[in-house]
């Protein structure tokens, strides 16, 4: 992948999805991101999340949300009421739906690599902390948010792009990530940032991106991490799992036969 990007003038655009896929299943990374074998998706699956994100973007810009709410579903209207009752939505907004393109950490193999993504909102909390806010309407908040690639890449990108947002004087320990889960009410999950966190993320990014750039094969994981994965029929994991199952059954039969033959005969 890196050689292809390096031989052209097009930057290697690295997303959070690429990083997550790489660490979950390299074969899926190859099929989806390199071979571009992508499955069609149902737009209705994203309608709720898109509607909520649009409303929050309008709200951040002091635009009239009434026309949107007039045609919104009851689910969206309920989410809107929950969000309006939450203080986070009323913090001063620095940027909304902010798309970023930030150079990857310096490395000889990563000169053409950039980190890309879109932050739902950047606000300033009452205590002066710059909060990177992510509305979670569909996917759940990561179980381990400190080590999740979205948390790390977005915070790293925000830290590297402070000058573009007028935040030159903001120290890293005055930045945090806030996940806002919108389901049966509002729940917050905060991850504070720091110089040490930033340095650690830089090293993790270099390690991951160099591995992705220099890979020549894309092995399957020992077990499929996603039983609903659309690539199961073509990636070969079902053959591997079937072989392991048959080997396990054969081993169990051998063990059973050995146990039976070792029993003393009845006189």
pTM summary value: 0.86
pLDDT at 9: 65
Q: What is the pLDDT of residues 217-241, one digit of tens each?
A: 999 999 898 888 888 888 988 887 5
Q: Rounded CA gap, 59 and 152, in Å? A: 27
Mean pLDDT of the chain: 88
Altogether, the residues listed in the chain come to a count of 267
Listed in sequence order, the residues at least 6 apart from 183 whose beta carbon sits closer than 8 Å to its beta carbon are 136, 137
Exposure string for 36-51, b = 16+ CB within 10 A, e = fewer = eeeeeeeeeeeebbeb
pLDDT at 230: 85
Q: What is the pLDDT of residues 20-34, one digit of tens each?
A: 999 999 999 999 999
pLDDT at 168: 93
Q: How confident is the model at residue 264 (pLDDT cuts 50, 70, 90)?
A: very low
Which H or E run contains 21?
A: helix 16-24
CA 58 to chain centre: 24
**pLDDT over 60 at 247, yes or no:** no
Q: How confident is the model at residue 242 (pLDDT cuts 50, 70, 90)?
A: low
Q: What is the pLDDT of residues 89-130, one digit of tens each?
A: 999 999 999 999 999 999 999 999 999 999 999 999 999 999
Q: Which CATH class is domain 2-214?
A: alpha beta
Q: What is the pLDDT of residues 179-205, one digit of tens each?
A: 999 999 999 999 999 999 999 999 999
**Cβ–Cβ under 8 Å, residues 84 and 185:** no
Sequence spans of domains, the chain? 2-214
**Cβ–Cβ under 8 Å, residues 130 and 167:** yes
Q: Rounded CA gap, 90 and 161, in Å? A: 24
pLDDT at 69: 97
Measured in degrees and rounded to the nearest 5, phi and psi for residue 49 equal -65, -40
- Where is pLDDT greater, at 73 or 45? 73
Question: At which residue do the structure tokens 């939450």 appear?
Answer: 86
Antiparallel, parallel or unpaired: β 12-14 and 93-103? unpaired
Q: What is the pLDDT of residues 150-181, one digit of tens each?
A: 999 999 999 999 999 999 999 999 999 999 99
CA 160 to chain centre: 19
């Amino acid at each position: 992948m890196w050689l292809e990007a390096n031989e052209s003038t097009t930057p290697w655009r690295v997303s959070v999805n690429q990083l997550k896929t790489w660490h979950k299943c390299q074969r899926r990374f190859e099929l989806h991101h390199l071979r571009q074998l992508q499955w069609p998706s149902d737009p209705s699956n994203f309608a709720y999340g898109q509607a909520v994100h649009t409303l929050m973007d309008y709200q951040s810009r002091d635009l009239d949300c009434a026309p949107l709410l007039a045609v919104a579903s009851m689910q969206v209207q309920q989410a809107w009421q929950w969000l309006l009752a939450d203080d986070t939505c009323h913090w001063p907004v620095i940027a909304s739906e902010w798309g970023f393109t930030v150079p990857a950490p310096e490395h000889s193999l990563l000169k053409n690599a950039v980190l890309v993504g879109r932050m739902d909102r950047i606000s300033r909390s009452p205590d002066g902390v710059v909060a990177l806010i992510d509305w979670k309407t569909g996917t759940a908040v990561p179980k381990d948010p400190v080590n999740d690639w979205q948390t790390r890449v977005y915070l790293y990108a925000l830290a590297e792009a402070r000058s573009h947002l007028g935040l030159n004087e903001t120290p890293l320990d005055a930045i945090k990530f806030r996940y806002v889960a919108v389901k049966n009410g509002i729940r917050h999950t905060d991850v504070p940032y720091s110089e040490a966190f930033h340095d650690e993320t830089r090293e993790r990014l270099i390690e991951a991106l160099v591995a992705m750039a220099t890979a020549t094969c894309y092995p399957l994981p020992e077990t499929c991490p996603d039983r609903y994965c659309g690539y199961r029929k073509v990636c070969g994991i079902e053959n591997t799992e079937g072989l392991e199952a048959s080997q396990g059954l054969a081993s169990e039969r051998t063990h059973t036969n050995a146990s039976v033959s070792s029993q003393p005969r009845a006189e």
